[in-house]
Structure 1
Amino acid sequence: METTQKLPKFFATWSNSSNILNCIIESKWIQSSMDVVMETDHIIVSDGESVCKIELPGVTLLPDTCRGLKLVSATELHFSIKGQLLQGDELLQMKVKKCSLQNETVETIQKLQNKWFCAVCKQKLLTDRSILRRVLPLPSENWSDLADMWFCHNHGNEDQPAQKQGRLLPKENECFVGETFVLVARKHVNSADVKITKTGAVICKRCGRQLGEVMESHNGTSFQDGVIKFFLHTLLMKDLRFADLIKQDSSISNRVDLDRFFSGLLQEQSEMYASFRFIIESRSDTVTENSESGVSTCLLWMLDSNVQMYRSRSGSMLKFDGNLQVAKTSVIKVLFKCQLCGSNAKRPPDHVTKSLISLWRKDNTVHCFQLPHPVFLQLIHLLVQNCKTLPCSQRYLNGFHMSFIGNSESSS
């Protein structure tokens, strides 16, 4: 009976500044006597019994520049080589538009009004009668810290609890747009297509994806007075025709949607605040004995916003013809370290992480911003899963986990 063996894995990152391709071949059968032959358009690896040809799309290699060939652990072969990108295949410069995502969303809603759809299954979310006469951008999350300098006599909010003061919530026919979410009155949401759970999660009835959460309004939590917070990355705002609604578009996936959203958010924050280090926070509704507060924190260090990554596709040796298929992707390379709270904290607080968080807070070059808790958990899950796909030697650096986020213009 013919047995199936896993293919060796190829991983490489392209440095645009030095035109160097840093390569790793990962396999359980790597030997010190393995031969590596460099050609201008491919790499050949052989161990005397089998030969593996690795073709790299869009790059011309310079064989004489190969250096640093060494074994790292028993399963990884490292080396680097210079090369040139083929004409028409240069790295995309992921520059943030001068018009911010927030202002762009405001203009889109003003134009399209109630044409909001689930980004995965294209289920319509707002009622056909919804008319949004006022669409306004929200100030940054820290605006309420200075609210006492802007307003006098609390503008009639004396009866509200302290934790509700300073919140801006839309009324009927209004929509408020934040950096990562949009707020709309609950009565505008199509209750036939959107389900609201007992915990306040807003779920698409067709595909089961969480679209947002319910916020308590000024007047309570009744159906008529409630406010819905939709997460921006879950929405598709577009003038879709009937044929578009019934057509299944397999190119839209939750993973691609998250990559596009988070890569755009990080690059916009970096451009606006000239920072490459971020403290990302989220407040959870549940607090455990192990957490001193209901705030989860992620330290994120953006190392490079435009890395070209080459990775071999998964497969087996059963039908292997000697050519290893390699996919090319544009990614953001990051380091991260997080401290979770509430029901998501499976371990007690790490004092080293807590001290590092405190140190970053005192550094004025570090930018801090907040995410809704479900979106924060999606970001952490994405970073952890991407970290697991890296070679073992690349997953950890100076006390941080290494990961990546796919750029919105990435291709394979």
Structure 2
Amino acid sequence: MAGGFLLEIRRGTQSALLVIREGDPPSSPLDVCVAADCLEVRSGGSRRAAALPAGVALAPASCRGLRPLPGGGLHLRMRLVRPPPAADLVFSLRESLKPQKNYVFYCQSCGDIIVKDRKFLRVLPLPSENWSALVEEWCCHPNPFARSTFHPQHDDCFLGDTFFLLNSGNESHVPESPMCSSDAGHHASQGVSNLKSKENTRVICKRCKKMLGETVSSDTIKYYVTEVIIRPSEASFSPTPRSQFIQSVVAQCLVELSSAKSTFRFTVKGDNEKIYILIWLLNSDTLLVESLGSSSSDSVFTLFGDTFMPSSGPVGTWNAVKVLYQTCIKSRNKDDRRESIGFV
């Protein structure tokens, strides 16, 4: 049996989608057995069985809609007798940063320390990025906050939707990227000058030269949540694969923003304000589990995707968000829309 099988559970609708990954067409007839607490697939002389996660029970009599999808395996829908408990999907950055505790900031790409043993007296959320525009709609007179900006003091940490602001103070772990003088001499137009000025505010990791954020003012640095890992000073640091970290951060941001702002459409921009991808959040109540891949012995459901699997042993289940995305890159088909899963 070449492939495994995947179970996508929806808490809200108390339903599940079973995906059996087989050859197209299958190399031999399949025998699928669905019980309340386990699944089993037989093909030829091979057998694959898996126990369901604790707290999940299927309704075998509800199985319907068995159909093959080209390149996508066999799909089978069913109802749940007992859905898994609701997941707490609070954005981890806001939950983990607390006042009166020491933290270390690491570059996510290489693990280099960029801020060491920093204690915050205040950890405060920032208003949404469009708060000033909303004030103009509410006021019948000129906006009194039009030029207001937020500058944290040395012991402050201000949290935005996708970034956080720190007072740079005497911090020297992450230098600013200098503007190349030879390049500056060849560009005299105002537009290019503004672009160079923007590039000159970038905050770069001293070791791997990755962009971590940007300078907002002479004493304020904006760090992006996708580029920095924060750990308590007493905790040990272990690197996380880049793809896994990005998926987790983006998924948590989507959950937080959709619940706070009642929206499901998002854009992903680069530091140059260029839009690279459009995202529609389909659901955030998914529990995603996958078979380990053993062809002869019983196994349990494990984490979806080879990128997330350890070399051996089961790792349990993952909460996930499901999105529909469309790329905005010229080389891509403008009508190309795809579904994807992001882990929380």
- TM-score where L is the length of structure 2: 0.68
Match status 1:69 vs 2:44:
no
Q: 2: CA distance between counterparts of 1:131 and 1:16?
A: 39
Q: 1: CA distance between counterparts of 2:121 and 2:298?
A: 59
Change (3 A) 1:149 1:96: farther
Q: CA deviation at 1:122?
A: 6.6
Could you tell me which residue of structure 2 aligns to residue 19 of structure 1?
Answer: 14
Q: CA deviation at 1:331?
A: 0.8
Q: Helix, strand or coil for the counterpart of 2:250?
A: helix
- What does 1:120-131 correspond to in 2, within 5 Å? 124-126=113-115
Could you tell me which residue of structure 2 aligns to residue 9 of structure 1?
Answer: 4
Q: 2: CA distance between counterparts of 1:74 and 1:258?
A: 26
Letter in 1 for 2:214: V
Q: CA deviation at 1:23?
A: 1.1
Q: Identity of aligned pairs, percent?
A: 21
Q: Is the 8 A contact 2:100 2:121 kept in 1?
A: no
Change (3 A) 1:84 1:229: same
Q: Is the 8 A contact 2:15 2:78 kept in 1?
A: yes
Describe the superposition over 1:201-232 as per-residue Cα deviations: whole angstroms up to 9, x where unpaired.
42263xx4846223263xxxxxxx36432123
Change (3 A) 1:257 1:77: closer
Q: CA deviation at 1:25?
A: 0.9
RMSD over aligned Cα atoms = 4.0
Change (3 A) 1:196 1:332: same
Q: CA deviation at 1:196?
A: 4.8
Structure 1 residues without counterparts, runs of 5 or longer: 1-5, 155-164, 218-224, 286-293, 340-344, 353-398, 408-412
Q: Is the 8 A contact 1:10 1:312 kept in 2?
A: yes
- What does 1:32-111 correspond to in 2, within 5 Å? 33-58=29-54, 59-73=56-70, 76-85=73-82, 90-94=84-88, 96=90, 108=98, 110-111=99-100
Could you tell me which residue of structure 1 aligns to residue 171 of structure 2?
Answer: 189
Match status 1:338 vs 2:313:
no
Q: How many residues align?
A: 300
Could you tell me which residue of structure 2 aligns to residue 212 of structure 1?
Answer: 212
Could you tell me which residue of structure 2 aligns to residue 404 of structure 1?
Answer: 341
Change (3 A) 1:282 1:169: farther
Could you tell me which residue of structure 1 aligns to residue 313 of structure 2?
Answer: none
Describe the superposition over 1:92-135 as per-residue Cα deviations: whole angstroms up to 9, x where unpaired.
333659xx976x68x72x423x633217577543366x787776
Q: Is the 8 A contact 1:94 1:305 kept in 2?
A: no
Match status 1:296 vs 2:275:
yes
Could you tell me which residue of structure 1 aligns to residue 254 of structure 2?
Answer: 266
Could you tell me which residue of structure 2 aligns to residue 150 of structure 1?
Answer: 143
Q: 1: CA distance between counterparts of 2:342 and 2:72?
A: 25
Change (3 A) 1:209 1:263: farther
Q: Helix, strand or coil for the counterpart of 2:100?
A: helix
- What does 1:142-181 correspond to in 2, within 5 Å? 142-145=130-133, 149-151=142-144, 168-169=150-151, 175-181=157-163
- What does 1:203-352 correspond to in 2, within 5 Å? 203=205, 205=207, 208=208, 210=210, 212-215=212-215, 217=217, 225=218, 227-241=220-234, 244=235, 247=236, 249=238, 252-275=240-263, 277-282=264-269, 284-285=271-272, 294-296=273-275, 298-313=277-292, 320-323=295-298, 325-327=300-302, 328-339=317-328, 345-347=329-331, 350=334
Q: 2: CA distance between counterparts of 1:70 and 1:8?
A: 17
Change (3 A) 1:249 1:149: same
Structure 2 residues without counterparts, runs of 5 or longer: 179-198, 303-316
Q: CA deviation at 1:60?
A: 3.5
Q: 2: CA distance between counterparts of 1:141 and 1:127?
A: 28
Bigger share in helix: 1
Describe the superposition over 1:166-200 as per-residue Cα deviations: whole angstroms up to 9, x where unpaired.
65555766654322212234443243xx4554563
Change (3 A) 1:73 1:259: closer
Q: Is the 8 A contact 1:182 1:230 kept in 2?
A: yes
Q: Is the 8 A contact 1:211 1:230 kept in 2?
A: no
Q: 1: CA distance between counterparts of 2:333 and 2:220?
A: 34
Describe the superposition over 1:242-281 as per-residue Cα deviations: whole angstroms up to 9, x where unpaired.
xx4xx4546x554454344333322222222222x22325
Q: 1: CA distance between counterparts of 2:274 and 2:12?
A: 39
Q: Helix, strand or coil for the counterpart of 2:322?
A: strand
| 1:30 equivalent among 26, 30, 54 | 26
